Amino acid sequence: MTIENLKRACKGAVIAASDAGFLEAIHGNLWNKLVPDRAPEAVVQAADEDDVVAAVRFARANGFKVVVRGGGHNWCQPSLRRGGIMIDLRHFDKVISIDAGNRRAVIQPIVSNRDIQRALNPLGLAFPTGHCPEVKASGYFLGGGMAWNPTVWGFGAESLEAIELVTADGELIEASETENPDYFWAARGAGYGFFGIITKYHLRLQALPKAMHGSTAFYRLEDAPVIGSWLGEMAPAISPSVELSQYIVQAPPELKPLAADQNGWLCMVTGTAFEDTPDAAREALRPLERPPVPSLSRSFATPLDFEQLFDASGALWPEGLRSRVEATYSDHSPGEMMQAVLQLLPKAPSATTVFLFTIFCGPDVPAPQKDMARSMSAKVYGGPWSMWRDAADDQVNADWHQAVVTTLRPYNTGYYIGEANTVERPSSAVQAFAPEKWRKLGELRDRYDPDRVFFDYFEGLSDGR
């Protein structure tokens, strides 16, 4: 059978490599504009679950491998493989139902973090979504879900109650802790190596915090190590309701003169408290008001909502740029790691680059392993998000990025599967999992996809970069 047969079997568009519009179909919705030269043989822009079933069955019967595209936000673009069929879920973008009384919802995979909160917040509800407003539920949940309010709400995948998916046999099934539990276990953290295509997520919702307040302070770049050490030492005693981060960013306009000797780079610290009352939020943030060195500028306990949080996050990680990312976990002091890279930071060649450490608060950090594929937990998470606009700047940014990554590698305990260079360094995919969970994922793939219908973590990804 040929791709023409697949076109007749699907309601949605099926675009072959020889068809007009093919490059737009495979590149148009990618977040990272540093595009590799990998390409499938055809793209199925599935209109519904029947199209997904038809595409998987066609691929299985005709010896094509299958890869899935959700939102296209994974920076190293594992939905682009050499050969095979890409099943693009771009049309699966609906909030299907919200049961406010029982705090339950059902969504399709291409609903963004911002749109989930927009649907829930007016009802007094929330969900532990990710931080970037445009990231879609698909890759977010598959990666485990690095959520807002992480030490209270946990990973986003912990608030999943069930999924609906198409298997390697082309069967549409439901999976939960009691029904097809192996699929449910793997889907919560396996990332782009999952051996199925999820078409619906069943969510367990949270009450919307009544008092979300944020504090921000700026410090000189050279003070980043002492600030990082201070934050790391304080974090166990800070309320788990506080999400705490240390950044290296370009100074806002009013502070530019104070950062001129460091090419405009400053240290920024943010704390966001998710509490029930303004007084509780202010009390949770108060430890950040006693820094060991003077700040250049600060604000304390400003009321926030999710729209404002997404606006701030979206400004740090804008769309339409070329990027390299390496987000890792560490149990070392953020101050020690800041000191290690301090001489490199003012040499960052792009003003849109962001360097970040999220420092998890509360006494129970790192958290114990959960019964799902998602594995990594540590005191600190982060690294460089190198972002730039022009292709002419690719090499200088890649060289700087690699220098930072290499310097930080001795401090790493693991990687986040959705924000690590698993193409150029495949071992990073393995190191995104506890050893026993990596073994279990391999065993489940052997059991549920023995014919290897789905691309795994490594196949078809070499692109010559």
Closest alpha carbon to 307 in 129, 434, 431: 129
- AA letter at 181: P
Alpha-carbon distance values, 131 to 113, 151, 244 (Å): 7, 14, 13
- AA letter at 349: P
Cα distance between residue 9 and residue 52, in whole Å: 10
Annotate 190-228 with DSSP letters as a single string: -GGG-SSEEEEEEEE-EEPPSEEEEEEEEEEGGGHHHHH
Alpha-carbon distance values, 447 to 294, 438, 440 (Å): 58, 14, 10
* pLDDT for the residue 367: 87
User: What's phi and psi for 187, nearest 5 deg?
Assistant: -65, -25
* pLDDT for the residue 308: 98
pTM for the whole thing?
0.96
Structure tokens at 150: 């992480």
What would the pLDDT profile of 406-415 be if each residue is shown by its tens digit? 999 999 999 9
- Domains by residue range for the chain, with CATH: 3-90 (3.30.43.10), 95-207 (3.30.465.10), 211-427 (3.40.462.20)
**Torsion 267-143-65-111 (CA) sign:** negative
Q: For the CA atoms of 315, 405, 245, 257, what is the dihedral angle to 10 degrees?
A: -60
What would the pLDDT profile of 12-50 be if each residue is shown by its tens digit? 999 999 999 999 999 999 999 999 999 999 999 999 999
* pLDDT for the residue 288: 98
List per-residue pLDDT tens for the chain, 465 residues long.
Answer: 689 999 999 999 999 999 999 999 999 999 999 999 999 999 999 999 999 999 999 999 999 999 999 999 999 999 999 999 999 999 999 999 999 999 999 999 999 999 999 999 999 999 999 999 999 999 999 999 999 999 999 999 999 999 999 999 999 999 999 999 999 999 999 999 999 999 999 999 999 999 999 999 999 999 999 999 999 999 999 999 999 999 999 999 999 999 999 999 999 999 999 999 999 999 999 999 999 999 999 999 999 999 999 999 999 999 999 999 999 999 999 999 999 999 999 999 999 999 999 999 999 999 889 999 999 999 999 999 999 999 999 999 999 999 999 999 999 999 999 999 999 999 999 999 999 999 999 999 999 999 999 999 999 997 543
Closest alpha carbon to 429 in 447, 411, 443, 441: 441
What would the pLDDT profile of 207-242 be if each residue is shown by its tens digit? 999 999 999 999 999 999 999 999 999 999 999 999
Alpha-carbon distance values, 388 to 1, 71, 76, 174, 321 (Å): 44, 21, 15, 42, 6
